[in-house]
Structure 1
């Protein structure tokens, strides 16, 4: 399989228009355009009955104590965990492209619905947990929400966009399912996959 994410070149910075948070010299960070990028794929294996899209950042601090705290830094040596930014499953087998802005076009305080539409069924991304303590932002974040790494993180973050060709029409996931559930449900059903990786940082020393 091959994957193309419009505007994203392997190993290069992700454009601000796809980001949840953008660099702001005065306030460190402000909300970004948060548009879901156009994603297209081809060279699909025979027997494909649906697709799944997974976007995640494997560089998220495992401990958030120093995240976005003035006078502190998030050490590059801190253990890291996966943070899921986009989960879309049960994408019809005849689809080969999702247009830019189709699954997100702006930051939506308190999140977006987890539902099934013409492009597939949305999962819950990890902003649901990250923003749970913020009364202005807390909610269920379905579908795409883009990069917004800590502005004081010493580590450059990497964002993996993946598409999977599956041998089932549906993964059988309902309700507010997360990235762990998607990975578990896909086991034994992946015919092929493809990935492209972009980078992003809000740390002025790394930009």
Structure 2
């Protein structure tokens, strides 16, 4: 369901609809997205789509390094001027279509000729917004949820190919950028997008 919501959101962004209208529309049946992902496909050498996050990429509390996962993609659409990325998760107690999800990674101003983000993004490509708790800038590494053995959460990473830079956002890391400000900045700028989901 998380991925279905994400696909619906991407359709809304591409058509230039307001985020509020998208959220309201999601209260009913989900529409089929107008954008086909085609060959612009986001993958990771660390996990498969719908696969499990490797132990070394988990948060430090769970024994991992807590760094960003490696990501790769190809066939960036013609006319792409910039790339942006969002990783999100719906925590317990939130409702898709009503509540904003938790933001685990907000990244924009990635050069259009970028085709990968290595593990940990050592070159610090792009600009980053606030973490999940809005206490610092950057990536929030996922921790395993409390509960019975086998409990897990789904996390979705979406890469956006943009026809124009996100001029509404700063050209530097900025704590003020959150889910709402970034998704609003994406309005009308999305040429195509691709998502990958993992479990932890």
TM-score in same-fold range (> 0.5): yes
**Deviations, residues 55-103 of structure 1 (Å, cap 9, x unaligned):** 1112x0237xxxxxxxxxxxxxxx9861111110011111111111126
- Equivalence for 2:129: 123
Change (3 A) 1:30 1:197: closer
- Contact 2:145/2:151, CA 8 A, preserved across alignment: no
Secondary structure of 1:17's match?
helix
Change (3 A) 1:171 1:146: farther
Q: TM-score, normalised by structure 1?
A: 0.66
1:13-24 correspondence to structure 2 within 5 Å: 13-20=52-59
Secondary structure of 1:5's match?
coil
1:100-111 correspondence to structure 2 within 5 Å: 100-102=119-121
- Contact 1:92/1:169, CA 8 A, preserved across alignment: no
The number of residues matched between the two structures is: 153
Structure-1 separation of matches of 2:114 and 2:139:
18
- Contact 2:132/2:140, CA 8 A, preserved across alignment: no
Secondary structure of 2:56's match?
helix
- Contact 2:145/2:153, CA 8 A, preserved across alignment: no
Stretches of structure 1 lacking an aligned partner (at least 5 in a row): 22-28, 64-78, 104-116, 129-139, 201-207
- Contact 2:57/2:66, CA 8 A, preserved across alignment: yes
Change (3 A) 1:49 1:149: same
- Larger C-alpha radius of gyration, 1 or 2? 1
Structure-2 separation of matches of 1:99 and 1:172:
27
C-alpha displacement of 1:118: 5.5
C-alpha displacement of 1:123: 0.8
Structure-2 separation of matches of 1:183 and 1:81:
11
Structure-1 separation of matches of 2:109 and 2:199:
27
Match of 2:79 among 35, 41, 47: 47
C-alpha displacement of 1:183: 0.8
C-alpha displacement of 1:152: 2.3
Q: CA RMSD in A?
A: 2.4
Q: TM-score, normalised by structure 2?
A: 0.68
1:161 aligns with 2:161: no
The structure carrying a bigger strand percent of its residues is 1
Change (3 A) 1:127 1:195: same
